[in-house]
Amino acid sequence: MWLEALKDKWIAFINRMNRLGIPVPTVRDPKTGKGSITAALVVFSAGLFGICILFMLASAIAKWAGLFVLTDASIVQVKTAADYSFQFLLAALGGYLGRYMQKGDSSLSSEESPTQSKNQAAQKADDPDQQ
């Protein structure tokens, strides 16, 4: 009996999430003024890359000052983490710039159907008086 109640609660939860969406913290895009996942990925990946660079700088200063020395294995792991975070930053920048450089509205809805615009273009091409 309680499985039916659990099932009903689960279906109500899923319906509410489908209707309202799942709240995700995002960064406000300067072009649209709305929250943008691609802009949030750029900020997150830049922060991650910055942390890796700061850690590498701090370990170099600590080695120079004689406070502690990282082993060869840990240096390789830090360099690998910086490489991967830089690749993530490049991928996020590519996604953001690809969306940012789109011309016009990115929505798929339009006022006229594509077949109407094709017909109008064909009529303009067939009429030699219109140019």
Of residues 97, 94, 82, the one with CA closest to residue 48: 82
Count of CB atoms situated within 10 Å of the CB of 85: 19
Q: What percent of the chain has pLDDT over 90?
A: 26
Give strand pairing partners of 28.
35
Q: What is the DSSP string of 43-94?
A: HHHHHHHHHHHHHHHHHHHHHHHTS----HHHHHHHHHHHHHHHHHHHHHHH
> What pLDDT digit, counting tens, does each position of 19-69 carry?
877 777 788 877 778 888 888 899 999 999 999 999 988 888 888 888 877
pLDDT recorded at residue 110: 47
Interval 65-75 mean pLDDT: 79
Least confident of 3-12, 88-97, 101-110: 101-110
